[in-house]
């Protein structure tokens, strides 16, 4: 499972011109699910995203996590994160989860975050989405479990 996280000042996701999720200060996470992923890995990644210290403290150092700054979370599914791009000019998606498993673990990731008390918005699994954001920093990290 891969989570590409971006510290944002603002982010939103639209499907067919309709706003389906929007946050202010917080983290946009693009979530890629692989075929060998399970609920344990999903829970571990959700904890890592929530606790990853990418927000500045009073000294300007990245020392605070999402909960400490009372930030919001926007979760967007992105199966292209798990593509194998090592050979040729076309990505291979052989390691990607099936749509059923991907949807199940995407929903579980969101549930894990909500149960921790986070303000969590999301995109629409499997949809053609348009994501807009203002990356703060820019600060972007790839987390893998």
Identified catalytic residue from 55, 79, 109, 125: 79
Indicate the burial class of 139 (C-beta count within 10 angstroms; 0-12, 13-18, 19 or more).
middle
CB 66 within 8 A of CB 73: yes
User: Annotated catalytic, 78?
Assistant: yes
Identified catalytic residue from 68, 80, 130, 142: 80
How many whole angstroms separate alpha carbon 102 and alpha carbon 88?
A: 26
Closest residue by Cα to residue 14 from 99, 74, 81: 74
Identified catalytic residue from 6, 42, 78, 121: 78
Helix or strand holding residue 92 (H, E)? none
User: Annotated catalytic, 79?
Assistant: yes
User: Annotated catalytic, 47?
Assistant: no
How many whole angstroms separate alpha carbon 29 and alpha carbon 134?
A: 13
CB 97 within 8 A of CB 78: no
Which residues have a catalytic role annotated?
Answer: 78-80
């Amino acid at each position: 499972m891969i989570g590409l996280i971006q510290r944002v000042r603002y982010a939103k996701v639209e499907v067919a011109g309709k706003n389906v999720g929007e946050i202010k200060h917080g983290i946009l996470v693009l979530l890629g699910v692989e075929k060998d992923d399970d609920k344990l890995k999903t829970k571990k990644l959700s904890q890592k995203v929530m606790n990853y210290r990418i927000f500045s403290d009073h000294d300007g150092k990245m020392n605070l996590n999402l909960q400490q700054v009372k930030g919001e979370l926007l979760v967007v599914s992105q199966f292209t994160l798990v593509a194998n791009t090592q050979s040729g000019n076309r990505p291979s998606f052989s390691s990607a989860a099936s749509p059923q498993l991907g949807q199940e673990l995407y929903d579980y990731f969101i549930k894990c975050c909500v149960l921790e008390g986070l303000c969590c918005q999301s995109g629409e699994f499997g949809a053609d989405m348009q994501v807009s954001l203002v990356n703060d920093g820019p600060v972007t990290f790839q987390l893998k479990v």
